[in-house]
Structure 1
Amino acid sequence: MKTYLAKPNEIEKKWYLVDAKDKVLGRLASKIAVILMGKHKPVYTPHVDTGDFVVVVNADKIVLTGNKLKDKMYIRHTGYPGGLKKTSYEVLMEKNPEKALYLAVKRMLPKNRLARKMIKRLKIYRGPEHNHQAQKPEALDI
Protein backbone atom coordinates (compact mmCIF):
# COMPACT_ATOMS: atom_id res chain seq x y z
CA MET A 1 0.00 0.00 0.00
CA LYS A 2 1.34 3.43 -0.93
CA THR A 3 1.27 6.48 1.31
CA TYR A 4 -1.37 8.99 0.30
CA LEU A 5 -0.04 12.47 -0.49
CA ALA A 6 -2.61 15.22 -0.82
CA LYS A 7 -2.44 17.57 -3.78
CA PRO A 8 -3.22 21.28 -3.31
CA ASN A 9 -6.12 21.29 -5.79
CA GLU A 10 -7.81 18.30 -4.08
CA ILE A 11 -8.07 19.91 -0.64
CA GLU A 12 -11.49 21.19 0.42
CA LYS A 13 -11.25 24.17 2.79
CA LYS A 14 -13.91 24.54 5.49
CA TRP A 15 -14.68 27.53 7.71
CA TYR A 16 -14.94 27.20 11.49
CA LEU A 17 -16.29 29.70 14.01
CA VAL A 18 -14.73 29.68 17.50
CA ASP A 19 -16.12 31.64 20.45
CA ALA A 20 -13.16 32.58 22.67
CA LYS A 21 -15.26 33.78 25.61
CA ASP A 22 -13.79 32.45 28.91
CA LYS A 23 -11.29 30.19 27.11
CA VAL A 24 -7.67 29.83 28.24
CA LEU A 25 -5.26 31.46 25.76
CA GLY A 26 -2.73 28.64 25.31
CA ARG A 27 -5.25 25.82 25.08
CA LEU A 28 -7.34 27.73 22.54
CA ALA A 29 -4.28 28.68 20.49
CA SER A 30 -3.05 25.08 20.26
CA LYS A 31 -6.43 23.83 18.99
CA ILE A 32 -6.59 26.64 16.41
CA ALA A 33 -3.03 25.87 15.25
CA VAL A 34 -3.95 22.23 14.65
CA ILE A 35 -6.92 23.28 12.49
CA LEU A 36 -4.86 25.81 10.51
CA MET A 37 -2.20 23.14 9.80
CA GLY A 38 -4.80 20.55 8.83
CA LYS A 39 -3.65 17.92 11.32
CA HIS A 40 -7.28 17.19 12.21
CA LYS A 41 -7.84 15.74 8.73
CA PRO A 42 -6.96 12.22 7.60
CA VAL A 43 -5.43 13.65 4.40
CA TYR A 44 -2.81 15.71 6.31
CA THR A 45 0.40 16.06 4.32
CA PRO A 46 3.26 18.04 5.90
CA HIS A 47 4.42 19.81 2.73
CA VAL A 48 0.91 20.71 1.48
CA ASP A 49 -1.39 23.32 3.00
CA THR A 50 -4.33 21.13 4.08
CA GLY A 51 -5.71 23.41 6.82
CA ASP A 52 -9.02 25.20 7.15
CA PHE A 53 -10.15 28.76 7.89
CA VAL A 54 -10.80 29.79 11.51
CA VAL A 55 -12.87 32.80 12.60
CA VAL A 56 -12.46 33.72 16.27
CA VAL A 57 -14.95 36.03 17.99
CA ASN A 58 -14.86 37.57 21.49
CA ALA A 59 -11.07 37.75 21.56
CA ASP A 60 -11.26 40.40 24.28
CA LYS A 61 -12.75 37.84 26.70
CA ILE A 62 -9.83 35.37 26.65
CA VAL A 63 -8.49 34.50 30.11
CA LEU A 64 -5.13 33.43 31.51
CA THR A 65 -4.60 31.17 34.50
CA GLY A 66 -2.61 32.10 37.59
CA ASN A 67 -0.77 35.43 37.75
CA LYS A 68 0.04 35.47 34.04
CA LEU A 69 -2.14 38.53 33.49
CA LYS A 70 0.48 40.67 35.23
CA ASP A 71 3.60 38.47 34.90
CA LYS A 72 3.46 37.34 31.27
CA MET A 73 5.48 39.64 29.02
CA TYR A 74 5.58 40.01 25.26
CA ILE A 75 9.11 40.93 24.23
CA ARG A 76 10.24 42.38 20.91
CA HIS A 77 13.36 44.15 19.69
CA THR A 78 13.45 47.19 17.43
CA GLY A 79 16.80 46.25 15.92
CA TYR A 80 18.62 49.21 17.47
CA PRO A 81 21.00 49.01 20.45
CA GLY A 82 18.98 49.04 23.66
CA GLY A 83 15.78 48.56 21.68
CA LEU A 84 14.21 45.80 23.79
CA LYS A 85 10.50 46.49 24.27
CA LYS A 86 8.45 44.67 26.91
CA THR A 87 4.66 44.73 27.24
CA SER A 88 2.64 42.93 29.89
CA TYR A 89 -0.35 40.86 28.84
CA GLU A 90 -2.63 43.18 30.82
CA VAL A 91 -1.56 46.21 28.75
CA LEU A 92 -1.73 44.22 25.51
CA MET A 93 -5.31 43.13 26.25
CA GLU A 94 -6.39 46.71 26.83
CA LYS A 95 -4.82 48.03 23.62
CA ASN A 96 -5.06 45.12 21.17
CA PRO A 97 -6.62 41.83 22.42
CA GLU A 98 -6.50 40.27 18.94
CA LYS A 99 -2.70 40.45 18.89
CA ALA A 100 -2.29 38.22 21.97
CA LEU A 101 -4.16 35.33 20.34
CA TYR A 102 -2.56 36.00 16.95
CA LEU A 103 0.96 35.78 18.39
CA ALA A 104 0.15 32.66 20.42
CA VAL A 105 -1.17 30.83 17.34
CA LYS A 106 1.58 32.08 15.04
CA ARG A 107 4.30 30.84 17.38
CA MET A 108 2.71 27.36 17.44
CA LEU A 109 2.86 26.99 13.67
CA PRO A 110 5.95 25.68 11.87
CA LYS A 111 8.59 28.25 11.02
CA ASN A 112 8.51 28.12 7.21
CA ARG A 113 6.82 29.56 4.09
CA LEU A 114 3.81 27.32 4.53
CA ALA A 115 3.09 28.83 7.96
CA ARG A 116 2.87 32.29 6.44
CA LYS A 117 0.04 31.00 4.24
CA MET A 118 -1.62 29.26 7.19
CA ILE A 119 -1.72 32.30 9.48
CA LYS A 120 -3.54 34.31 6.79
CA ARG A 121 -6.53 31.98 7.23
CA LEU A 122 -6.94 33.05 10.86
CA LYS A 123 -9.53 35.83 11.31
CA ILE A 124 -9.76 37.32 14.82
CA TYR A 125 -12.45 39.74 16.00
CA ARG A 126 -12.69 41.60 19.30
CA GLY A 127 -16.47 41.38 19.72
CA PRO A 128 -19.19 38.87 18.80
CA GLU A 129 -19.71 40.19 15.25
CA HIS A 130 -17.75 39.08 12.19
CA ASN A 131 -18.14 39.65 8.47
CA HIS A 132 -17.79 36.05 7.24
CA GLN A 133 -21.44 34.98 7.33
CA ALA A 134 -21.37 34.35 3.57
CA GLN A 135 -18.88 31.50 4.08
CA LYS A 136 -21.30 29.81 6.54
CA PRO A 137 -18.72 28.88 9.21
CA GLU A 138 -19.47 25.85 11.37
CA ALA A 139 -19.49 26.48 15.12
CA LEU A 140 -16.56 24.66 16.67
CA ASP A 141 -16.76 23.84 20.38
CA ILE A 142 -13.30 23.94 21.97
Structure 2
Amino acid sequence: MRRAFRAGCEVRNTIARKGTLVKTFTPKPADLTHDWYIIDATNVVLGRLATQAAVLLRGKNKATYAPHADSGNHVIIINAAKIALTGNKTGKLLYTHSGRPGGLRGDSYADLLKRNPDRIVLSAVKGMLPKNRLSKVQLDRLHIFAGAEHTHTPQKPQVFEIDQVSQQVK
Protein backbone atom coordinates (compact mmCIF):
# COMPACT_ATOMS: atom_id res chain seq x y z
CA MET A 1 0.00 0.00 0.00
CA ARG A 2 1.34 3.38 -0.97
CA ARG A 3 1.44 6.06 1.68
CA ALA A 4 0.20 9.41 0.48
CA PHE A 5 1.81 11.44 3.24
CA ARG A 6 5.34 11.79 4.52
CA ALA A 7 6.47 10.40 7.83
CA GLY A 8 6.67 13.11 10.44
CA CYS A 9 3.85 15.22 8.96
CA GLU A 10 0.65 15.31 10.93
CA VAL A 11 -2.45 15.36 8.81
CA ARG A 12 -5.93 15.19 10.32
CA ASN A 13 -9.30 14.64 8.67
CA THR A 14 -7.78 13.44 5.43
CA ILE A 15 -8.14 10.30 3.42
CA ALA A 16 -5.46 9.01 1.05
CA ARG A 17 -7.06 8.16 -2.29
CA LYS A 18 -4.92 7.19 -5.27
CA GLY A 19 -1.88 8.93 -3.88
CA THR A 20 -3.59 12.27 -3.15
CA LEU A 21 -4.92 13.69 0.05
CA VAL A 22 -8.64 14.33 0.23
CA LYS A 23 -9.93 16.45 3.09
CA THR A 24 -13.05 15.22 4.83
CA PHE A 25 -15.63 17.42 6.44
CA THR A 26 -16.25 17.08 10.15
CA PRO A 27 -18.98 19.34 11.50
CA LYS A 28 -18.33 21.24 14.69
CA PRO A 29 -20.95 21.27 17.45
CA ALA A 30 -21.82 24.85 16.51
CA ASP A 31 -22.66 23.67 12.96
CA LEU A 32 -25.24 21.13 14.17
CA THR A 33 -28.79 22.45 14.22
CA HIS A 34 -31.96 20.50 14.84
CA ASP A 35 -34.79 21.90 12.71
CA TRP A 36 -38.45 20.91 13.07
CA TYR A 37 -40.45 19.40 10.21
CA ILE A 38 -44.08 18.30 10.06
CA ILE A 39 -45.36 15.58 7.72
CA ASP A 40 -49.03 14.91 7.00
CA ALA A 41 -49.44 11.14 6.55
CA THR A 42 -52.91 11.28 4.99
CA ASN A 43 -53.05 8.79 2.06
CA VAL A 44 -49.25 8.40 1.99
CA VAL A 45 -47.82 4.92 1.53
CA LEU A 46 -46.11 3.65 4.69
CA GLY A 47 -42.74 2.90 3.05
CA ARG A 48 -42.48 6.29 1.36
CA LEU A 49 -43.32 8.04 4.62
CA ALA A 50 -40.75 5.99 6.52
CA THR A 51 -37.92 6.69 4.08
CA GLN A 52 -38.56 10.43 4.02
CA ALA A 53 -38.82 10.58 7.81
CA ALA A 54 -35.58 8.59 8.18
CA VAL A 55 -33.74 10.97 5.84
CA LEU A 56 -34.91 13.95 7.89
CA LEU A 57 -34.10 12.26 11.21
CA ARG A 58 -30.55 11.49 10.09
CA GLY A 59 -30.04 15.00 8.68
CA LYS A 60 -29.17 13.82 5.18
CA ASN A 61 -31.05 16.80 3.73
CA LYS A 62 -28.40 19.19 5.07
CA ALA A 63 -25.10 20.21 3.53
CA THR A 64 -23.38 19.61 6.88
CA TYR A 65 -24.32 15.91 7.00
CA ALA A 66 -21.78 13.50 8.44
CA PRO A 67 -22.75 9.89 9.23
CA HIS A 68 -21.04 9.90 12.61
CA ALA A 69 -22.40 13.26 13.81
CA ASP A 70 -25.85 13.91 15.18
CA SER A 71 -27.14 16.51 12.74
CA GLY A 72 -30.70 15.16 12.60
CA ASN A 73 -33.97 17.03 12.75
CA HIS A 74 -37.16 16.70 14.75
CA VAL A 75 -39.94 15.14 12.69
CA ILE A 76 -43.64 15.40 13.59
CA ILE A 77 -45.96 12.98 11.79
CA ILE A 78 -49.66 13.80 12.01
CA ASN A 79 -52.69 11.79 10.81
CA ALA A 80 -50.91 8.46 11.28
CA ALA A 81 -54.30 6.74 11.43
CA LYS A 82 -54.96 7.74 7.79
CA ILE A 83 -51.83 6.10 6.37
CA ALA A 84 -52.14 3.92 3.24
CA LEU A 85 -51.05 0.28 3.37
CA THR A 86 -50.35 -1.35 0.02
CA GLY A 87 -50.65 -5.00 -0.92
CA ASN A 88 -51.87 -7.45 1.71
CA LYS A 89 -50.31 -5.70 4.69
CA THR A 90 -53.58 -5.55 6.61
CA GLY A 91 -53.27 -9.28 7.27
CA LYS A 92 -49.55 -9.07 8.08
CA LEU A 93 -48.47 -9.33 11.73
CA LEU A 94 -46.19 -6.96 13.62
CA TYR A 95 -44.34 -8.89 16.31
CA THR A 96 -43.09 -7.70 19.70
CA HIS A 97 -41.50 -9.61 22.52
CA SER A 98 -41.80 -8.71 26.20
CA GLY A 99 -38.50 -10.37 27.09
CA ARG A 100 -40.15 -13.05 29.20
CA PRO A 101 -40.53 -16.71 28.19
CA GLY A 102 -43.55 -17.04 25.93
CA GLY A 103 -43.76 -13.28 25.56
CA LEU A 104 -44.01 -13.16 21.76
CA ARG A 105 -47.02 -11.20 20.63
CA GLY A 106 -48.23 -10.60 17.11
CA ASP A 107 -50.75 -7.91 16.20
CA SER A 108 -52.17 -7.49 12.71
CA TYR A 109 -51.72 -4.20 10.90
CA ALA A 110 -55.51 -3.85 10.56
CA ASP A 111 -55.97 -3.98 14.35
CA LEU A 112 -53.02 -1.67 14.97
CA LEU A 113 -54.34 0.84 12.46
CA LYS A 114 -57.49 1.15 14.59
CA ARG A 115 -55.92 0.92 18.06
CA ASN A 116 -52.34 2.19 17.87
CA PRO A 117 -51.32 3.55 14.43
CA ASP A 118 -48.17 5.24 15.78
CA ARG A 119 -46.64 1.81 16.46
CA ILE A 120 -46.84 0.94 12.76
CA VAL A 121 -45.09 4.14 11.70
CA LEU A 122 -42.51 3.88 14.50
CA SER A 123 -41.49 0.35 13.54
CA ALA A 124 -41.25 1.29 9.84
CA VAL A 125 -39.04 4.32 10.52
CA LYS A 126 -36.91 2.36 13.01
CA GLY A 127 -36.23 -0.23 10.30
CA MET A 128 -34.97 2.52 7.96
CA LEU A 129 -32.42 3.87 10.46
CA PRO A 130 -28.95 2.36 10.88
CA LYS A 131 -28.49 -0.16 13.68
CA ASN A 132 -26.15 1.75 16.00
CA ARG A 133 -26.17 3.93 19.11
CA LEU A 134 -26.90 7.08 17.15
CA SER A 135 -30.19 5.72 15.84
CA LYS A 136 -31.68 5.70 19.37
CA VAL A 137 -30.97 9.42 19.70
CA GLN A 138 -32.39 10.10 16.25
CA LEU A 139 -35.50 8.00 16.89
CA ASP A 140 -36.20 10.01 20.05
CA ARG A 141 -36.72 13.04 17.78
CA LEU A 142 -39.65 11.36 16.02
CA HIS A 143 -43.06 12.55 17.26
CA ILE A 144 -46.08 10.64 15.94
CA PHE A 145 -49.72 11.65 16.40
CA ALA A 146 -52.76 9.68 15.24
CA GLY A 147 -54.86 12.81 14.66
CA ALA A 148 -54.29 16.24 13.15
CA GLU A 149 -53.48 18.02 16.43
CA HIS A 150 -49.99 18.07 17.90
CA THR A 151 -48.35 19.74 20.88
CA HIS A 152 -45.30 21.20 19.11
CA THR A 153 -46.73 24.41 17.64
CA PRO A 154 -44.35 26.68 19.64
CA GLN A 155 -41.40 25.16 17.73
CA LYS A 156 -42.87 26.44 14.42
CA PRO A 157 -42.22 23.34 12.29
CA GLN A 158 -41.74 23.61 8.54
CA VAL A 159 -44.19 21.67 6.38
CA PHE A 160 -42.55 18.80 4.49
CA GLU A 161 -44.65 17.65 1.53
CA ILE A 162 -44.62 14.10 0.21
CA ASP A 163 -46.06 14.41 -3.29
CA GLN A 164 -46.52 10.71 -4.02
CA VAL A 165 -49.81 9.64 -2.47
CA SER A 166 -51.31 6.17 -2.69
CA GLN A 167 -52.67 5.12 -6.06
CA GLN A 168 -55.42 3.08 -4.37
CA VAL A 169 -57.01 6.19 -2.86
CA LYS A 170 -57.39 8.05 -6.19
TM over 0.5: yes
Q: Could you tell me how far 1:66 is from its partner in structure 2?
A: 1.6
The residue number in structure 2 matching 1:91 is: 111
Aligned residue pairs, count: 141
Question: Which residue of 1, 4, 12 maps to 2:33?
Answer: 12
- The structure showing larger relative contact order (alpha-carbon pairs under 8 Å, at least 6 residues apart) is 1
The residue number in structure 2 matching 1:65 is: 86
The residue number in structure 2 matching 1:135 is: 155
In 1, distance between residues paired with 2:36 and 2:100? 41
The farther-off stretch of 112-121 and 81-90 is 81-90
Q: Could you tell me how far 1:51 is from its partner in structure 2?
A: 1.0
The residue number in structure 2 matching 1:33 is: 54
In 2, distance between residues paired with 1:11 and 1:80? 40
Q: Is the 8 A contact 2:74 2:141 kept in 1?
A: yes
Work out whether 1:74 is the aligned partner of 2:113: no
TM value normalised by structure 2:
0.78
Larger Rg: 2
TM value normalised by structure 1:
0.92
In 1, distance between residues paired with 2:71 and 2:149? 27
Q: Secondary structure at the match of 1:11?
A: coil
Give the CA RMSD over aligned residues. Answer: 1.3
Q: Deviations for 1:101-135, whole angstroms, at most 9, x for unmatched residues?
A: 01111121111111111011111111111111111
Structure 1 unaligned runs (5+)? none
Task: Report the residue type matching 2:133 in the other structure.
Answer: R
Q: Which runs of 4+ in 1 moved over 6 A?
A: none
In 1, distance between residues paired with 2:99 and 2:153? 41
Q: Secondary structure at the match of 1:75?
A: strand
